[in-house]
Each structure stands twice: as C-alpha cells, then as structure tokens.
Amino acid sequence: MCGIVGYSGFRRASEVIIESLKRLEYRGYDSAGMAVINHGITVEKKRGYVSMLKGEMEGRTGIGHTRWATHGEPSDKNAHPFTGCTGEFAIVHNGIIENYMELRKDLVKKGHKYASDTDSEVIVHLLEEGYAEHKDFKKAFFEMIGRLRGSFAIVAVHRGENRIMAVKKESPLIVGIGEEENFLASDIPAFLSYTNRVVIMEDGEVCELDPDGISFYDFQGNERKKKTEYVDWTPESAEKSGYEHFMLKEIFEQPLAIENTMHTLFSNDIDLPYYGRITIVACGTSYNAGITGKYLLEKLLGIPVDVYYASEYRLRPEVRERSLVIFITQSGETADTLVAAKIARKRGYETVGITNILGSSITHHVDHVIYTSAGPEIGVAATKTFTAQLAALYYLGAALGEKYGILSQMKCDEIIDEFRRVPRLIEKSLDYEGTIKKIAQKIMNSENMFYLGRGMNYPIAMEGALKMKEISYIHAEAYPAGELKHGPLALLKEGVPVVAIVTRDETYDKMLSNIREVSARGATVIAISPETEIENYVDYRIPVPKNSAMFSPFGNTVAVQLLAYHTAKLRGCEIDKPRNLAKSVTVE
C-alpha cells in the first residue's frame, strides 16, 4: 500500500505535498517523492521518510507519493514519481499493475528505457506513447488506462499544464474541493487542513482537475455527475495534538470514538435478514474483533458464528449453507478481505461490511454497510478502530436479537443501557496508565511473552499479543488459558511475562488455576483484572474497573494496548510506523 497526493492551486505545491504526504505516511514509509510543474517538471525522491524531502521547488501544481515496496526494493530509483524517457510527464501509482511484464517488454522494443524495477513505471512510458500519437494529455491518459490490468490509483501531471489527471480502480482516491485549489489523495486526512468538502471516486472513474474545476468520467470518457460530501473530521483529528505518538492519542480517543460510533449506529437502521448462521471474515486486528463477535453473537443470538481469516476464506470450497457473511475492515481496502467479499457475493451470500472509511472499497462489494465513526486512525497499530468495531458488533447483537425475536425487549434495553456506559468504562481504564508504565519497565527486556484469556477475553489476549509483537517486536503468543497445558507450557521459563485476563464470570476459577500453573514454573504473571483478590496469586495487577463480564473486553483492550505502547516506547521502537508494516495491506 502507498499514499498518493495531487495538488493544483495558488499555494506552493511542494509545501502542500510534503504536509499531505506526512499524513499519509501510515500507508507506507520506505521511500517518498514529489514532482512539481514549473519551467519543466522538478522531481525530488528518496529512500526514507517524507521528512527527508526538502521540497524547495517553485510551482503551484504537483504530485507526491509515499511508498510501501511491493515490486522492487525500497531505494531512490524505485521511489515515485516516475518521469519516463522524455521527462514530459510525472506519475505516482498505488496498487499493482498485473500485466507490467508484457507491457514493459513491448515498450522496451519500442525503445523505452527503464529507470526502476517497479511495475508502476510502465504507466509513464504508456503516457509518452499515447502523447506521441495524439499530442493530447487527456487522450493519452485514457489510452494508457485501457492497457492496464490490475488495481490502480494513478495521479499524473504534464509539463506546461496545471491540470492533473487521475484514475481509480480498486485502490482508494479521494478528491478535496477548495476555493481556487483542488486536491487528490489516497485518504482524507491528507488535505483535511485545507478542506472538508470531498468527492469519493469510485472504481472505474477518471478525474480531471485544475484550480478552477473538476470533471469526472467513466473509462469510456462519458462525463459523470458526482456528489460532494462533507466530512466532520477536524484537522486536529489528523494531528498528534500534543501526544508523543498517534497510537497514544488514538488510545485516548477511544471514549469519543465509541460515542461517535454509537451515534452513527443509533441513527441508522440495521435491517439484516435472518439466516440462522453468521460467518465473519477479516484480517489482523479486525479478525480479533470478529472472534470477540463470535463469542458475543453466539451468546446473544444462539446461532453459530464462524470466523475466517480473509486469506483463508477464499480457499474454502463452496458449501451448502445459508449464512449472513460479515466483513470487518477498518480501512475498507484490505486486499484479502475485498477478494473474500467478491467470492462471497459470487456464491450468492448476503453480505455486510463493517468499516471506518466512508465510501471505501468494501462498501462497493457488500449488500449492507455498517460504519464505525472512530475518526482517522494514523498509527499503524489499530486501536480505536478495534474498539469501535467491537461497539458495532455489540450493537448488532442487540439489534438483531430484538429483530429476530430472540431477545426480550427488556434484555435488549439492558444491553443497550450498558452499551451506553462503555465510553465511561474506557475512560476509567485509561486512568491506570501510570500502573501500566511501571509494569512495562519490568517486562521491556523480555524476548517472549504469553497472553492468556478465556471466552470473550481470549480474543482480547490475541489482540494484546498482536499489539505487543507489532510495535515492540517482542515475540508474544496468545492462548485460550486452558490450552497452555497441552503443549505451550513447555516454553515457559523463569521470568517470562504472562499476561492473564481474569474476569469474574464462569471462567474465573479456571483462570486462577491456570495462573497457579504458570507461576509454579517461574513466570512473571501480570493480571488484568478488577478483582483485588488476584494480587495474592500474581506479580502485578492492572486494576481495570469492575464491569459485567459481557462488556469486560472494552476495558481489558485498553490495558493491553497501553502495555504494548509503553513497552515499545521503553524499547525505543518506531511506534507509529513499525518495521515492515503498512496501515492497510492492499496486496494479497
């Protein structure tokens, strides 16, 4: 996944582009570059972060890119933009050009010389070919699109023009509308400090933009009318606002993220038919939300819920079952999830997408969309979008329980009442940051960790281990606490930290015996629990507030997030941009 931007207006383009790219760095950060139209086209590109770009060029129109390498190693030569043989065009690309090998061969035969190992570079050479024939940027752009296979968001400029041409197919691209200036970007935060008026491009659309106007076309060149939307995200929502890292800010934004998500959920009707079975499909953190959803929905609805990694769902043979299929993806752009959604639809299932991003790709591949309203999440590690996904699943459980006549009105009201108290529960859990910091000091030098939970808190243990691995690079594994003795216990050594999530429900006594098992082998046990009694059995306790077991995942999530954050910080890790990772993974 990469981040791309385009700007045409009255400001110095290089400054706008650098600022916008910094806000897109969560999408990729192994190299960055920009091209600005002035007397010709001036390009600056480098391996490394956006902050390495100087941006000292004149010009009011330009494009930019921040890369997460797929084809070709991260290097100066593979950084975008590409300017081809003549230097008349510059392009940036997000996605994969599947037929680039055959295009490249063909273009080399025609005399084109390549400067990089990327699939993207063919785009600019195709533009040159088209322009040589038609002497028209727009015609050359449409012709180029016709030759490409794969997924692409492309933004291109031509020497001597303040016009930008752009296209979207299966990679996101949003237009920002300003006064005498217009913007293009992979995601809204890129231009949020200039405008909140946006047009969301759909697959198969082309955009022609300059400071005075914007036109949209289909791939055949027919003009399309598009709706302008207003986003209620503030520019500050895409800033660190005094926090040292986006991740920490986003952890602390969770009460607001849940409140806003509740508002969205309460004001939209959820009308999903009964199928007697639910399948949830997702990746990473969204998958962990899916497993929590399984425990919850099975409990509330009494119907079976299966959860699949999206990359595995596609391997599943067609089976004879009737099921509602729910895809969870905060970005709405994860390639594996999108492929799975297409497969499910093709097989005739009724599908639902839960996403945080307005108009994202998943919304085009499902029958029903449920939005979370967590606001922009910039840190690569998902935090507030996870609890917002949980909120959506809890609400879904109550709403469907009522609609299907499974839950009594009274039970439903009880759940919703408690649901409304979640933001406060999270606020109280955030109060224990000081305790968590101290515990992080004790575990910061560990090489391995275990996370244990049972029932609904097993997926929260999974999420805790994922957060710890992802940002602190400590090897952390989660187990349903009962499974430990069936093998993994052999790995336990003196001093290995074991995080145990202990809730006062039917799992409580069993969790206590599991804690004794690991303590007896010398593990350092950290309990996340509202029960003071636990202190008799463990080394440290994170005292999350007392709450019903059903809603305990919210407070416990905050504890595992903060523990990962402070451990990673003490280890001096790049918290918002962990090595080898990108915010959403748009390759399969």
Q: Which is nearer to ligand M6R, 170 or 470 (CB)?
A: 470
Whether the Cβ atoms of residue 219 and residue 230 lie closer than 8 Å to each other = no
**Directed axis angle between helix 100-109 and helix 121-134, to 10°?**
50
**396: nearest Cα among 522, 225, 262:** 262
**349: nearest Cα among 275, 269, 271:** 275
* Per-residue contact flags (x/-) with ligand M6R for residues 427 to 466, judged by CB under 6 A: ---------------------------------------x
DSSP H or E run through 352: strand 350-355
Q: Which is nearer to ligand M6R, 27 or 45 (CB)?
A: 27
Q: How far apart are CA 317 and CA 334, in angstroms?
A: 22
Supply the minimum distance, in Å, between the C-beta of residue 577 and ligand M6R.
11
Q: Which is nearer to ligand M6R, 182 or 584 (CB)?
A: 584
Burial label, 222 (beta-carbon count in 10 A; 0-12, 13-18, 19+):
exposed
Q: Does 393 bind ligand M6R (CB under 6 A)?
A: no
Supply the minimum distance, in Å, between the C-beta of residue 265 and ligand M6R.
18
Whether the Cβ atoms of residue 31 and residue 154 lie closer than 8 Å to each other = no
Sole residue written with tokens 């794969």: 150
Q: Does 286 bind ligand M6R (CB under 6 A)?
A: yes
Residue 583 among the catalytic residues = yes
Q: Does 382 bind ligand M6R (CB under 6 A)?
A: yes
The CA distances from residue 131 to 166, 262, 304, 526, in Å, are 16, 52, 58, 65
Q: Does 284 bind ligand M6R (CB under 6 A)?
A: yes
Q: Which stretch binds ligand M6R (CB under 6 A): 16-24, 107-115, 142-150, 376-384?
A: 376-384
Q: Which is nearer to ligand M6R, 119 or 470 (CB)?
A: 470
Supply the minimum distance, in Å, between the C-beta of residue 316 and ligand M6R.
19
Q: Does 337 bind ligand M6R (CB under 6 A)?
A: yes
Q: Does 380 bind ligand M6R (CB under 6 A)?
A: yes
Q: Which is nearer to ligand M6R, 100 or 308 (CB)?
A: 308
Q: How far apart are CA 33 and CA 362, in angstroms?
A: 29
Supply the minimum distance, in Å, between the C-beta of residue 323 and ligand M6R.
20
For 82, which DSSP code? B
Report H helices in 495-536.
508-520
Q: Which is nearer to ligand M6R, 189 or 284 (CB)?
A: 284
Supply the minimum distance, in Å, between the C-beta of residue 374 and ligand M6R.
11
Q: Which stretch binds ligand M6R (CB under 6 A): 182-190, 227-235, 282-290, 552-560?
A: 282-290
Supply the minimum distance, in Å, between the C-beta of residue 460 and ligand M6R.
14
Q: How far apart are CA 413 and CA 248, in angstroms?
A: 33
Q: How far apart are CA 83 and CA 90, in angstroms?
A: 5
Supply the minimum distance, in Å, between the C-beta of residue 289 and ligand M6R.
8
Residue 412 among the catalytic residues = no
Whether the Cβ atoms of residue 25 and residue 50 lie closer than 8 Å to each other = yes
Supply the minimum distance, in Å, between the C-beta of residue 27 and ligand M6R.
11
Count residues binding ligand M6R (CB under 6 A): 16
**Which residue is catalytic, options 45, 249, 467, 583?**
583
Q: How far apart are CA 34 and CA 522, in angstroms?
A: 55
Q: Which is nearer to ligand M6R, 53 or 362 (CB)?
A: 362
Characterize the bridge pairing of strands 213-218 and 229-230.
Answer: unpaired
Sites for ligand M6R among residues 304-333 (CB under 6 A) = 329-331
Q: How far apart are CA 279 and CA 324, in angstroms?
A: 6
Burial label, 239 (beta-carbon count in 10 A; 0-12, 13-18, 19+):
middle
Q: Does 470 bind ligand M6R (CB under 6 A)?
A: yes
Question: Contact with ligand M6R (CB under 6 A): which of 8, 20, 94, 334?
Answer: 334
Is the bond leading into 545 cis (omega within 30 degrees of zero)? no
Q: Which is nearer to ligand M6R, 94 or 285 (CB)?
A: 285
Q: Does 585 bind ligand M6R (CB under 6 A)?
A: yes
Question: Contact with ligand M6R (CB under 6 A): which of 186, 260, 264, 285?
Answer: 285
Question: Contact with ligand M6R (CB under 6 A): which of 2, 5, 381, 460?
Answer: 381
Q: Which residues contact 421 (CB under 8 A, 6 or more apart)?
A: 551
Q: Which residues are catalytic?
A: 2, 583
Interface with ligand M6R by CB under 6 A: which residues?
A: 283-286, 329-331, 334, 337, 380-382, 466, 470, 584-585
